[in-house]
Amino acid sequence: MTSEPPTPPDLGTAELEQRGVDVIRGLAMDAPRAANSGHPGTAMALAPLAHVLFTRVMHHDPSAPDWPDRDRFVLSNGHASILLYSMLYLTGYGLTLDDIRQFRQWGSRTPGHPERGAAPGIEVTTGPLGQGVADAVGMALAERWLRARFDPEICDHHTFVIAGDGCLEEGISHEAASLAGHLGLGRLVAVYDDNHITIDGPTELSYSDDVAGRFRAYGWDVDPVGEVANDLDALEGALRRAIAVEDRPSLIILRSHIGYPSPHLTDTAKAHGDPFSDEEIALTKSILGLPTDQSFYVPDDVLELYRATIPRGQRYRRAWEQRLDAWQGDRSLWDAVQRGTGIPGWETKLPTFSPDDEPIATRAAIKVCLDATAEVVPSLLPGSADLTGNTGVLLASGTVQEAGSPAGDQVHYGIREHGMAGIMTGMAAHGGVLPVGGTFFVFSDYMRGAVRVAALSDVHVVYFWTHDSIGLGEDGPTHQPVEHLASFRAMPGLRLLRPADANETAQAWRIAVDSPGPTALVLSRQKLPVLPGTAERSPTGVPLGGYVLRDATGEAVHGDIVLIGTGSEVSVCLAAADLLARTGTAATVVSLPSWDLFAAAPEAHRASVLPPGIPRLSVEAASSFGWERYADASVSIDRFGASAPGARNMKEFGFDPEAVASRARQLLAELGQS
């Protein structure tokens, strides 16, 4: 178990280890030079640290990259990606020297910044600075939660993260580090690469924080080790001291020198973001004792040194497998949690709602769904950024996750939306956790950077974004998200659903649990009626993104016009269809909760829902942007909202049955079909 120092590995002579470090530095220069793009300097400076982590300290098995009890490594300053790729190649994760040669090229497994899924051993996607810090906090939280729920015998590892000046300047790292200290995440070890350089020049241009003081105030153990970036034993000692700290996260502050040992570029901004010239590479290789006439030089004895990581890691993994086999706990529960979805048949616990029921906001309906299925979705870990009771994430049976209650299944993230989203990404990437996070839809703006990384990473996270329109009322335009649906619909890889009522909400929750990748549920503050037909039609209709909720006639033809609604406006469309019917206009009502699912549905289904040649009017209390793909005209809102009771807002902005029916008649007249 990683709580005890492992037997020191046989790494050969100190000279061979140093040659290994220097080979990493050579690759860190050669790959950006070949690509004419990249960031060599940080990778060169941190080569000794990476060497110590991957060969002396971390428990990992390159032959089984997804072993559940492995230590996790996050390179938050992802611009130094060549450092990670070099270690994954050298230690045997499956990258080849040709992959290193193809750094930053089309179709390569070594993109400009680490991308989860591009190659084994890349735990998270990093690059936007600070995100990796939050990811690492999420991983550490996931490890502790699983260890507390199960047993240290089968869950006992650490999370290591390297972060630079830029990471610690970005706000997301402050949010995540604050929560990590509050929760006392003792298996989290961060190394701050204090190299004093940014792209613009010295950090002193804009940055004079007392980092040690700040992190101590957060509740971290802080170890300012100073000028030991090239001392392998000192680096190992600092990491071992941090590993021994169990009651709080640890920060090692390491003073490094970017570009070391380049004779002209060490400690310069140019070493940060520009490939070295051929002349500077030759001079630096000469200092390192590397052949100056060879690129991508990796001698056999150095490769053998690093490949010794494989049998050593296999011993760690096999010892864990033996502990797992001997464990007397609930193995089926452990396996279910590792899958990160529901127990087979879990969806039978989903509630069904009736039109005879009282109106219920979809934010309240999702809580009913959450409570009904919590026991059969054992990886579920919900939380909110200070809006737990407002966003549907409050578990009836939940206990607070805190330092003294590590098995608590209700996370209070505080007013840290960006940090929450990044932490959720880390938990999902860790495995064994299905993180659900709630906040008001308008505050998804604060989360956007982390949501984008989650979409790029294809990690299984669920967002509950509530108070979804001008219908939320008196809080006014600062809290009314009129443009957000359009902007998040434009994000590749994010599954977005805006359910019309409680039954559609239940089906949206089913999709969120069962589907890979990130899913966002956009939910109402105001109470909505349970609509006739959703209990019967939404189980098949919502997974296809859209469906006919009410046919124009009893013969299931589309009639004169199709009214397309999402969310709270579907009920308005139904009422408008009734008004139109009184004057002889037959309207079909379509619920379209998810554009991306609808776009992925079979063409025949899409044509049956929105048949060519029938006029279409969309009705959505949000921007009209994008609706031209599905509708001939829109009842929408292309300005900011207003502070007034929600019902008054909806009426004033035209989201009432009379206004929608009038606009439908107008559209038919414009098209010469009245």
- Closest to 627 in 3D by CA, of 595, 667, 670, 593: 595
Q: Which residues contact 82 (CB under 8 A, 6 or more apart)?
A: 27, 28, 31, 32, 38, 39, 40, 43, 100, 103, 110
Dist. CA 376–CA 345, nearest whole Å: 9
Q: Which helix (H) or strand (E) holds 223?
A: strand 221-226
Task: Using alpha carbons, list the distances in angstroms from residue 542 to 126, 427, 461, 556.
Answer: 33, 27, 19, 19
Mode of pairing for the β-strands spanning 547-550 and 587-591? antiparallel
Q: Which residues contact 599 (CB under 8 A, 6 or more apart)?
A: 545
Dist. CA 151–CA 552, nearest whole Å: 59
Indicate if the alpha-carbon torsion angle 234, 240, 242, 245 is positive or negative. Answer: negative
Half-sphere exposure in the Cβ direction for 265 (13 Å, CA):
26
For 355-387, b where at least 16 C-beta lie within 10 A, e where not — what string? eeeeebbbbbbbbbbbbbbbebbbbbbbbbbbb
Q: Which residues contact 638 (CB under 8 A, 6 or more apart)?
A: 482, 623, 624, 625
The answer to whether residue 279 is catalytic is no
What is the three-class DSSP state of 32?
A: helix
Secondary structure letter of residue 110 according to DSSP: S
562 pairs with which residues across the strands?
Answer: 588, 616
Secondary structure letter of residue 95 according to DSSP: -
Q: Is 255 left (phi over 0), alpha (psi -120 to 50) or beta?
A: beta
End-to-end CA distance of the chain: 76
Structure tokens of 634?
A: 């829109």
- Closest to 3 in 3D by CA, of 295, 305, 323: 323
CB-based burial label for 628 (10 Å; 0-12, 13-18, 19+): exposed
CB-based burial label for 494 (10 Å; 0-12, 13-18, 19+): buried
Structure tokens of 297?
A: 């030089």
Q: Which residues contact 487 (CB under 8 A, 6 or more apart)?
A: none
Dist. CA 495–CA 488, nearest whole Å: 9
User: Residues 115, 280, 417, 569: which is the catalytic one?
Assistant: 417
Structure tokens of 259?
A: 């570009």
Q: Which helix (H) or strand (E) holds 33?
A: helix 14-35
CB-based burial label for 517 (10 Å; 0-12, 13-18, 19+): middle
Q: At what angle do helices 171-183 and 417-430 cross, to 10 degrees?
A: 70
Dist. CA 606–CA 597, nearest whole Å: 11
Task: Using alpha carbons, list the distances in angstroms from residue 129 to 93, 173, 474.
Answer: 25, 9, 37
Active site residues: 417
